[in-house]
Amino acid sequence: MTVCEAPGKVYLFGEHAVVYGEPAVPAAIERRATVTAEPRSDDHVRVEAEDLSLDGFTVEYSGGTGNRPDVDVPTPLVEAAMGYVDAAVREARAAADAPDAGFDITVESEIPLGAGLGSSAAVVVAGIDAATRALGVQLDRRELADRAYRAEFEVQDGQASRADTFCSTMGGAVRVEGDDCEPIEAPNLPFVVGFDGGAGDTGELVAGVGELREEYGFAADTVESIGDIVRTGEELLSDSAPGADPQRELLAELGELMDFNHGLLSALGVSARSLDSMVWAARDAGAHGAKLTGAGGGGCIVALDASDATETALSFTQGCDEAFRAELATEGVRVVES
Ligand code: PMV
């Protein structure tokens, strides 16, 4: 039995603009998805999913997701769990050159689904790592990240950037620009997350920004300005002491950039009333800055605050379903048991 766990992420800066070649800086957070892989003597794959913020369920199938099992759970949940786990198993079989390998897979996750925190990437990264290791193969991190990206790309019909899977694999803060992905130094940022209990439609939101950008020069300029914010933020991070608790001054400057980034995302039409009200609750509580994270439309915001004030304020904010502290996860995917 092999057990691996991989972190979720927040976007410190740069979502949406990254689709148009601007850089983005996501950062891994200490909320993890855990995948257990146990090889079977046949070629079946049995998936048990628990704590995916929804009711747990168990399905057993052979071959691919085409052989949809007849189970009494909501279709999106089955598709989410099966699609991603199936793609992860496919990548693990290819990587280990074991096309007929079967597994009992268990998925547990502390990361809200589809809410901009990279839950699917964490499941795919931990899944490929656990399944390949269970077959006696250890992938280097770059290959693991690449295979995880391909798995997401396939399940999401080409709508995946490398940000989530690379960040979940490597941990810490990373910089993504097109196919270029690099870990970057970052201090121990005090993230607080607010979750509205919902999710946005990433495809629709990405398409909406694309249309605005085509129609208006100032929307294209807005996307470029987000790129400028990312570059400014990167400079601040590179001047800071890696792993240390950041100075108030640095938090204030990063927070200001986050506020700016949220304003521009809002101008591009991807915020939502619930997200704006959580962002304002965080700012009113004294957070250094706050912004939506991920595609928007619903889901999560991220704020910077080393004190408890933002988390407390968010927990009393109408429209906020859950608020929690999420420290920077300096370690990416890791083996828990092998
Ligand atoms: O909601 P998430 O975490 O999948 O992030 C989407 C980020 C976008 O930049 C909007 C799209 C992408 O694939 O980069």
Single-letter code of the amino acid located at 85: V
Query: How far apart, in whole angstroms, are the C-alpha atoms of residue 315 and residue 306?
Result: 16
Q: What is the best residue among 13, 20, 206 to mutate for testing ligand 1's pocket, by most ligand atoms within 8 Å of CB? A: 206
Average pLDDT along the chain? 90
Predicted TM-score (pTM) of the model is: 0.90
Per-residue model confidence as pLDDT tens digits over 45-71: 888 876 554 434 455 555 444 455 544
The angle formed by the CA atoms of residues 90, 91 and 93, to the nearest 5 degrees, is: 65
Binding residues, as ranges, are: 112-122
Q: How far is the CA of 206 from the centre of ligand 1 (A)?
A: 8
Query: Which whole number is the average pLDDT over 262-273?
Result: 98
Determine whether the shortest distance from the Cβ of 29 to ligand 1 is under 6 A.
no
Closest residue (by CA) to atom 12 of ligand 1? 161
**pLDDT the model gives residue 72:** 46
In sequence order, the 6+-apart residues with CB closer than 8 A to the CB of 323 are 192, 193, 194, 195, 310, 311, 312, 314, 315, 317
SS3 sequence of 118-135: CHHHHHHHHHHHHHHHHC
List beta partners, residue 61: 45
Rg (CA), the chain: 19
**Residue 211 CA to its chain's centroid (Å):** 25
- What domains appear along the chain, each with residue ranges and CATH number? 2-185 (3.30.230.10), 191-326 (3.30.70.890)
Q: If pLDDT is split at 50, 70 and 90, which confidence band does 34 have? A: very high
Q: How far is the CA of 161 from the centre of ligand 1 (A)?
A: 7
Q: Say if residues 196 and 296 touch (Cβ distance below 8 Å).
A: no
Q: If pLDDT is split at 50, 70 and 90, which confidence band does 89 have? A: very high
Per-residue model confidence as pLDDT tens digits over 182-213: 999 999 999 999 999 988 888 899 999 999 99
Q: Give CA separation, 2 vs 140, 234, 338, in Å.
A: 17, 36, 4
Catalytic center residues: 164
Q: What is the best residue among 19, 20, 162, 202 to mutate for testing ligand 1's pocket, by most ligand atoms within 8 Å of CB? A: 202
Residue 53 backbone dihedrals phi, psi, to 5 degrees: 65, 10
Q: Which two tokens stand for residue 142?
A: 């770059």
Q: If pLDDT is split at 50, 70 and 90, which confidence band does 115 have? A: confident
Closest residue (by CA) to atom 3 of ligand 1? 116
Single-letter code of the amino acid located at 80: A
Q: Which two tokens stand for residue 235?
A: 């400079």
Per-residue model confidence as pLDDT tens digits over 8-21: 999 999 999 999 99
For residue 145, the SS3 value is helix
Q: How far is the CA of 328 from the centre of ligand 1 (A)?
A: 19
Closest atom of ligand 1 relative to the 9 alpha carbon: 3
